[in-house]
Structure 1
Amino acid sequence: MLYAQIMAGGIGKRMGNVPLPKQFLMLGSKPIIIHTIEKFILNDQFDMILVSIPESWIDYTNEIFEKYKVKDDRIRVIAGGKERNDTIQNAINYIEKNIGLNDDDWIVAHDAVRPFITKKIIDENIKAASNFEAVDTVVPAFDTIVRGDGTEVSEIPVRDEMYQGQTPQSFKIKAFQDGFSALSDEQKAILSDTAKIILLSGKKVGMVAGELSNIKITTPYDLRIANAILLTGHTAGE
């Protein structure tokens, strides 16, 4: 089966002094998360759409879904976790408990605060799943990437080989479970990138092209940029 997971398990500390977790802040006339989930609802390839939310905000999420007429029998609002991997594992646990797991089950996991996700990006993730154990959405790195410790440069990789990761990150559930269980406790504590976890297990990870507009709204500056994108005629989620 094919599952979508909207990752909204965080509270957005970098957004500053705001009354709501960032996924619930207004972007234009609707909360950010509404823009995001509307695109996934339009895709009929998903068997279920899991929305992972801080447990204390589940009731609020259901309320705003009702307010903005987000209705789809495939939607399940569930509790996220403390860290990203916990949020993913909670979704897997939900699937296992309520439906059961199969070896060919996939999750297309997307940040709730990337509201400009396009149908093309989602479709390309799903298409690439037939050739890989996981798929990463990326855009070329236009700036030179510098590796260092904050004081001294240790490496400057070839820019043409560098990409910036976005979401969705899509993965076969079994590949994630196998890769995560093989990590040491130290690795589990520091590794939060799903594609890297699967890559470390020796499995192939595909790449699909993202878009520069597929930004992640993390700071107040990002939110201003997102509103500016709306004003130029780009509808969030199209």
Structure 2
Amino acid sequence: MIYAEILAGGIGSRMGNVNMPKQFLKLGNKPIIIHTIEKFVLNNRFDKIFIVVHPEWLVHAKNLLKTYGLTDERLMILSGGTDRSESLLAGPRYLQAEGLLTAEDVIITHDSVRPFITHRIIEDNIDSVLKYDAVDTVIGAIDTIVASEDGEFIQSIPNRDHMYQGQTPQSFNVAKLVRLFDDLSEDAKAILSDGCKVFILSGEKVKLVEGEVSNIKVTNPYDFNVANHMIEGDKDDQPSL
């Protein structure tokens, strides 16, 4: 089976003075998360599309699906965990609990606040994860990367030709993701920043898939303004609630 998982469990603390998580803010005429979900619904290769939401926003998310006519039977809203790792595993844990998980299952995981994902990126993730077990979507680094451990002095300046900026989707063989995560020490789990790091810490290879500069993540008010201009031009620089 091929699954999708849209991660919408964050509270959007970097968006500033707004009264809801950023994924629920309107971009153009619909919430950011709806733009994202629609991209995945258009792909008929997915057997199920999980939407992982913070427990306090489950009802709101369900109402949004109804409001915007997203009645696809493949859509399922799940409650997120206490951190990103547990939210990432919400879909896999559901499959485990229902006795549906097989060794061949793959899952394409994506940030709900990256609404400009393309059909090509989704397809490349599906094709690659079916072959390589773990996939990360990246673009080549444009700026020089400076490494500093103390935040005051430079330790190194890596060769930019070897540096990439991570995006999503990140895609995985589901059973392997669960097994590798469960095998990590508690200290290792504490430093996880994304799913691919589970594989890296376990000594596994992660295949790179080319992303797009336009596949931006809406994290702060500046990102929101850029995304709003991408949707409908220079109309209103303030988040619409």
Q: TM-score range by the shorter chain?
A: over 0.9
Match in the other structure for 1:49: 49
Match in the other structure for 1:154: 155
Q: Distance in 2 between matches of 1:201 and 1:187?
A: 10
CA RMSD, 1 decimal: 1.3
Matched, 1:34 2:31: no
Q: Distance in 2 between matches of 1:18 and 1:58?
A: 18
State the TM-score, normalized to the length of structure 2.
Answer: 0.93
Which stretch has the larger CA shift, 3-12 or 194-203? Answer: 194-203
| Pairwise CA distance, 1:17 | 1.5
1:4–1:40 Cα contact (<8 Å) kept:
yes
Match in the other structure for 2:170: 169
2:152 counterpart SS class: coil
Match in the other structure for 1:124: 124
Match in the other structure for 1:213: 214
Distance 1:166 1:102, change over 3 A: same
Q: Distance in 1 between matches of 2:213 and 2:225?
A: 16
| Pairwise CA distance, 1:232 | 5.3
2:106–2:130 Cα contact (<8 Å) kept:
no
Match in the other structure for 1:108: 108
| Pairwise CA distance, 1:101 | 0.9
Q: Distance in 1 between matches of 2:11 and 2:117?
A: 21
In structure 1, the gaps of 5 or more residues are 234-238
Matched, 1:97 2:66: no
1:154 counterpart SS class: coil
Match in the other structure for 1:197: 198
Match in the other structure for 2:230: 229
Which stretch has the larger CA shift, 66-75 or 189-198? Answer: 189-198
Q: Distance in 2 between matches of 1:195 and 1:93?
A: 17
In structure 2, the gaps of 5 or more residues are 235-241
Match in the other structure for 1:81: 81
State the TM-score, normalized to the length of structure 1.
Answer: 0.94
Q: Distance in 1 between matches of 2:89 and 2:121?
A: 24
| Pairwise CA distance, 1:202 | 2.1
Q: Distance in 1 between matches of 2:62 and 2:95?
A: 20
Can you list the C-alpha shifts for 1:59-84, whole angstroms capped at 9, x where unaligned? 11111111111110000011011211
Number of equivalenced pairs: 233
| Pairwise CA distance, 1:178 | 2.5
Q: Distance in 2 between matches of 1:71 and 1:121?
A: 24
1:133–1:203 Cα contact (<8 Å) kept:
no
Q: Distance in 2 between matches of 1:78 and 1:181?
A: 20
- Aligned identity (percent) is 49
Residue identity matched to 2:9: G
Matched, 1:25 2:25: yes
Q: Distance in 1 between matches of 2:6 and 2:125?
A: 15
Residue identity matched to 1:180: F
Residue identity matched to 2:170: Q
Residue identity matched to 1:16: G
| Pairwise CA distance, 1:197 | 1.2
Can you list the C-alpha shifts for 1:78-131, whole angstroms capped at 9, x where unaligned? 101121111022221211223521111111000000000000000000111132
Q: Distance in 2 between matches of 1:173 and 1:115?
A: 24
Q: Distance in 2 between matches of 1:214 and 1:197?
A: 23
Residue identity matched to 2:162: E
1:179–1:200 Cα contact (<8 Å) kept:
no
Match in the other structure for 1:67: 67
